[in-house]
Amino acid sequence: MTPTLRGTLAALALTSIVWFATTPSAADDGDTCEKASGIEAIAACTRAIDSGRRSGRRLADLFNIRCFEWNRNQESDKAIADCTRAIQLNPIHATAYNNRGIAYSAKGQYDYAVEDYMRAIRLNPNNANVFNNRGIAYRAEGQYDRAIEDYDQAIRLNPRHPDAFSNRGIAHSLKGEQDSAIEDYNEAIRLNPNRANAYNNRGIAYSAKGQYGRAIEDYDQAIRLDPNSADAFNNSGLAYIAKGQYDRAINEFDQAILLNPNHADAFNNRGIAYNAKGQYDRAIEDYNRAILLNPNHANAFNNRGIAFKNQRQYDRAIEDYDQAILLNLNHADAFNNRGIAYSAKGQYDRAIEDFDQAIRLNPNHTDAYNNRGLVYINAKAQYDRAIENFSQAIRLNPNHAVAYYNRGVSCERKNDLQRALADFRKFSELAPSDPDGPKAVERVTKALSDR
C-alpha cells in the first residue's frame, strides 16, 4: 500500500486587518503626519511630537498615528510603544487600543491583542472593524466559534464589510464547514469583485470538497487579480496534484518559488509531485530545501521519509518519520508511514504499535487499518484480525479498492472462497485497470469449480 503523501496548503490568506487612525490637530508637521504615509509620515509625526507644542489628547493623536504607520511598516514593537504612550495620554483613545491590538496580533501575542480589542469595544461598541480584528485574533488562537461570533457582529454593524465576510469564511473553512465558507466568500466577492484573497480562499474550500476544477478556476482568478500571489500558485499546484496532473502542478510550484524563493510549502509540495512521478532524488532535493527554510516543517520530514522508503532506504526513512513525530506528536500519517517502514524491515510488532498509534490519533485513518491488516495477514497469519482491519477500512471508505483486495486474500487463505470472490470482483470494479483483479477472480472461480 502506497503511504499517504501529505501536502500542506498554504496558510489561508487572511484579509487585511483594518488599521485606522484619528485626525490630529493640523498644523505644519502635524498636518503632514496626518496626510502623508510611510517614512514621510513617521518623520513628520516625530518632529511634531518632539516640538513640544502639543500635549494631552492632541499629542496622543500624534503617537497613535505614528503607531499606525509603524504597524504598516511591520515594526510592531515600535507600534506598541507609541500606542501605549497614546493611551497614557488619553486613556479613552479607542483607536489606540485597536492599533495596539493589531501590533500584538502581528507578534503572535493574541491574548494581549484580545484585551486591547475588548477595551476598544467598550469605548466604542459600534465599530465593525474592531470586531473583525478581534475575530482574527480568536481565529489565530483556534477559537473559531468565538471568531465567528465577532465576524457576525461586524456584519450586523456593517452589512457591506467584505473583510468580515471573507474572514468568517476562513473560520468556517477551518471548522470543516466548507459550504458556509463558500457562501461567505461569495458575498465578499460580490462586495469587492477584485478581492484576490477571497478567490484564493474559496478555492481552498472547493479543494476541501474535492471540487478541484472549480478550485483551479478560483486560483486562476486570484492570480489574474494578483499575479504575484505565490500562495495562489502553490494552492493551484496542490489541486493539480489531486487531479493527478503532476507536470502542471510542478509548473505552478515553479512559479510560486520564482515569486517567493523562501516558500517552504511550495518546495515541499513540488517534492510531492516529483515523488508521484517516481523522481525520488528530485523530490528529496525539494524536501531538503523545505527543511532548510523551515527546520520545524514536520510534513517535509514525513514526505522525505516517504521518498527514502520508496528508494528502500528504510533506516533513513525511519529517521525522518522520527523527526516528524518529534515536531508533531499528533502526526498520524508519520506514525502510519513509520509503521510501513518497520514492516518492510520485518519489525512487525513495532509496525503494529505505530499503526495502533496512528489510529488512536485519527480513528478514521483508513490506510492505517489497511496497513495493520497487512501485517496480521502476512507476518502473523492472523486472518480474522486482518479481516477485521480491512473491513474497518472499507466501512470508513467504501471505495477503498486495495482493502477489498486484501480482505479477499485473507478470505481466500481461510478458504472462504465465496467471500473472497465477492471482494475480488469489487476490487476489479473499483480498479478496472489493475490486472490483479481479473487474475484473482479467475483463480478463485477455478478453485470453486474444482470443489
Percentage of residues in the chain having pLDDT higher than 70: 94
SS (H, E, C) 241-261: HHCCCHHHHHHHHHHHHHHCC
Report which residue type is found at 314: Y
Segment 211-230 shows an average pLDDT of: 97
**Residue 192 falls within a domain, yes or no?**
no
**Residue 324 falls within a domain, yes or no?**
yes
Helix 230-242 to helix 264-276 angle, to the nearest 10 degrees?
20
**Residue 438 falls within a domain, yes or no?**
yes
Question: Is residue 403 domain-shared with residue 433, that is, in the same domain?
Answer: yes
Question: Is residue 224 domain-shared with residue 289, that is, in the same domain?
Answer: yes
DSSP 153-186: HHHHH-TT-HHHHHHHHHHHHHTT-HHHHHHHHH
In whole numbers, what is the pLDDT of the chain averaged over residues?
Answer: 92
Of 362, 391, 414, the residue that ends a domain is: 362
Question: Is residue 219 domain-shared with residue 259, that is, in the same domain?
Answer: yes
**Residue 221 falls within a domain, yes or no?**
yes
Question: Is residue 307 domain-shared with residue 288, that is, in the same domain?
Answer: no
**Residue 440 falls within a domain, yes or no?**
yes
Q: Domain range spanning residue 281?
A: 213-294
Of 314, 335, 362, the residue that ends a domain is: 362
**Residue 178 falls within a domain, yes or no?**
no
Question: Is residue 346 domain-shared with residue 384, that is, in the same domain?
Answer: no
Q: How confident is the model at residue 16 (pLDDT cuts 50, 70, 90)?
A: very low
Question: Is residue 276 domain-shared with residue 318, that is, in the same domain?
Answer: no
Question: Is residue 220 domain-shared with residue 274, that is, in the same domain?
Answer: yes
Tally of domains in the chain: 3
Segment 35-48 shows an average pLDDT of: 88
CB distance 93 to 87 below 8 Å? yes
Beta strands in 351-441 (DSSP E): none
Per-residue pLDDT reduced to its tens digit, 42-63: 998 999 899 888 889 989 989 9
Q: Using CA atoms, how far apart are residues 232 and 21, in angstroms rounded to an integer? A: 31
**Residue 388 falls within a domain, yes or no?**
yes
Q: Using CA atoms, how far apart are residues 275 and 300, in angstroms rounded to an integer? A: 12
Question: Is residue 290 domain-shared with residue 278, that is, in the same domain?
Answer: yes
**Residue 387 falls within a domain, yes or no?**
yes
CATH of the domain at 324: 1.25.40.10
Indicate if the pLDDT at residue 249 is higher than 50.
Answer: yes
